[in-house]
Amino acid sequence: MGPEPVSDDLTVRTGEDIPGPPLFERADPVNSTAIFVSWTAPSEPRGKILDYRFHVLSSSNLDSVANFTAQGNESNVIIGNLTEGTNYSIYMRARTSQGLGEPDLVYVTTPKRIVGAPRGLLATSGGPYSISVSWLAPSVGSISHYVVVYSADSQKQNASTTEESYELKGLSPYTYYRIEVKAEGGNASAVTFAYTQEGTPGQIELFEIPRVDASFVVLEWEPPRRPEGRIAYRYRITEAATEWTRNVDLLPSELGSLEGRFFRWKVANLTGFTQYQFSMRAFNIRHRREGAWSITKVIRTDEGKPGPPEDVRVYVRRDGRV
């Protein structure tokens, strides 16, 4: 009895099923807000891979960040619009006509954005109450805004701008300010310093003439409550009868003080029994900004000893008497 005959080969294709998991190959940050991912197809596709479905989660708060699809013939994609310095979980599934298969999972962290420090910081006084600040953009990184940090004491103040210059306003006159600029997410610039200019001093409110003599008077006054810088003083003297007027400037180093509070000055070489008017004002030394005059004081010097007779003539009378 001989062997039985063998039939021809018969090829049969089974129906599609859900695929096995694809396999992540790489998941690398491109920059602080984007990730490059690549993968290989499932080792058990179980049908034609139509596409790949991605689900991105932020591990800091488990919020869904993105859902998107890549075509079945693709093997890499860039995921953008992410947050710098954040941990992400990325799930990937392959899909056939029968549905989605099991996922593969990869973890990746976006780096913090590298931003350099602003350069060439320059600060210039714009007057008694303002300073103009300018700088160059950092050589590394893109900037959304800058923060100008300034202080005249231990308390710092901030001002934000998107420009590479800023005018600090509402400052105190004749004050030394420390200034630096920070790029958002970056380092601070080198520190620079600038003075505001001297302002206009206030009016001298307390002005007295406590002593009057025949040939001199003594002026006393209190500095203005608002000096706004280094100040000197100017008094104005007017002789009432002739309207002769003179202005005299006085530096603080020339003045004597009374109990460390009042200034005192002696005006000499006056004429006895003569009416004079005095007033006083402060002015800043550098910019010569002048405050208002004080109230005017009117005094009359004391009587003095009369001087010797002038143009003396001698006449002899007929009776022989002089």
Classify residue 306 as exposed, middle or buried by CB count within 10 Å of its CB (0-12, 13-18, 19+): exposed
- Model pLDDT for residues 265-293, shown as the tens digit of each residue: 999 999 999 999 999 999 998 888 999 99
Classify residue 12 as exposed, middle or buried by CB count within 10 Å of its CB (0-12, 13-18, 19+): exposed
Is 188 found in the same domain as 164? yes
Q: Minimal CA–CA distance to 144: which of 192, 79, 86, 84?
A: 84
Domain carrying residue 98: 23-109
User: How many distinct structural domains can be found in the chain?
Assistant: 3
Which of 173, 195, 217 terminates a domain? The answer is 195
- Model pLDDT for residues 103-152, shown as the tens digit of each residue: 999 999 998 877 788 999 999 999 999 999 999 998 876 788 999 999 99
- Say how far apart CA 276 and CA 298 lie, in whole Å: 6
Q: Using only the alpha carbons of the chain, give its radius of gyration.
A: 46
Residue 231's pLDDT band (cuts 50, 70, 90): very high
Residue 56's pLDDT band (cuts 50, 70, 90): very high
Is 291 found in the same domain as 230? yes
**Beta strand ranges found along 169-318 (DSSP E):** 176-183, 192-195, 207-212, 217-221, 231-239, 244-250, 256-258, 262-267, 275-284, 297-300
Q: What is the CATH number of the domain that holds 292?
A: 2.60.40.10
Which of 195, 222, 254 terminates a domain? The answer is 195
Which of 145, 165, 195 terminates a domain? The answer is 195
**Beta strand ranges found along 42-128 (DSSP E):** 51-58, 64-71, 76-79, 87-96, 99-100, 104-109, 119-127
Q: Minimal CA–CA distance to 16: which of 72, 91, 95, 69?
A: 95
Q: Is the pLDDT of residue 322 over 60?
A: no
- Say how far apart CA 236 and CA 262 lie, in whole Å: 18
Residue 317 lies in a domain: no
